A and B are shown apart, each in its own frame.
Chain A
Amino acid sequence: GDSVTQMEGPVTLSEEAFLTINCTYTATGYPSLFWYVQYPGEGLQLLLKATKADDKGSNKGFEATYRKETTSFHLEKGSVQVSDSAVYFCALSDREETSGSRLTFGEGTQLTVNP
């Protein structure tokens, strides 16, 4: 079945540091890939997405590129801020023949940014 593996957290960085959160996936079809962010006490917000190989998703300074050859979708940001402190989930959506698409999530990576 489909699966998503994220780098283990927690990750602690200083403000303005470079961020990478690794994400690799296993899927039988041609999945869409997503990064969701969850701030404390809130639901999940879509951060960015990519629907086919070599697509780059970007939003709020975050970027991720859909790499089919390495089955990866790593999240990067050049300069993190304290307000980026949150849990980040990598996810894929792959259509199933009998029951439609579902999201498969990674375990999540807790990011803390210190001033």
Chain B
Amino acid sequence: DTEVTQTPKHLVMGMTNKKSLKCEQHMGHRAMYWYKQKAKKPPELMFVYSYEKLSINESVPSRFSPECPNSSLLNLHLHALQPEDSALYLCASSQDLTNKNIQYFGAGTRLSVL
């Protein structure tokens, strides 16, 4: 099983709302990632967790707050977003951070900020 599950699939929120994106994997992977993808562009790395600790933050605005409550779950908390934050948000996981490990992606959450 190489499945990464993301919920919800679609999300519409206003600029004053607070919402969360969820990601789950049961492959025993110890590295998990959040990416942002705009239309017709490659994914852009936002955050990396390794063994439930934040390893990389790509200078993401504080209105995005990641959380890794355990090795199977990754959340992205959203607050006071801007319309330009509308995008597809992808979660991925890999066995660990060595470069020979494949990153497996979820189907994404399509976010619209009004």
B66 close to chain A: CB less than 8 A: no
Q: Is the CB of A108 within 8 A of B50?
A: no
Bound complex: CA A101 to CA B103 (Å): 11
Q: Is the CB of A46 within 8 A of B102?
A: yes
Bound complex: CA A92 to CA B90 (Å): 18
Bound complex: CA A26 to CA B66 (Å): 31
Bound complex: CA A106 to CA B42 (Å): 7
Residues of B within 8 A of A102 (CB): 45, 48, 56
CB-contact partner of A103 in B4, B100, B103, B106, under 8 A: B103
A100 close to chain B: CB less than 8 A: yes
B113 close to chain A: CB less than 8 A: no
Quick one: closest B residue to A30, CB to CB?
A: B99
Residues of B within 8 A of A103 (CB): 43, 45, 103
A25 close to chain B: CB less than 8 A: no
Query: If the complex has contacts A99-B56, A102-B45, are A43 and B90 also in contact, measured as CB distance less than 8 A?
Result: yes
Query: If the complex has contacts A100-B55, A102-B48, are A34 and B98 also in contact, measured as CB distance less than 8 A?
Result: no
Q: Is the CB of A45 within 8 A of B98?
A: no
Bound complex: CA A93 to CA B107 (Å): 21
CB-contact partner of A95 in B42, B43, B92, B98, under 8 A: B98
Q: Is the CB of B105 within 8 A of A44?
A: yes
Residues of A within 8 A of B105 (CB): 36, 43-45
**Which of A's residues lie within 8 Å of B, judged by CB?**
29, 31-32, 34, 36, 42-46, 49, 51, 89, 93-95, 99-103, 105-108, 110
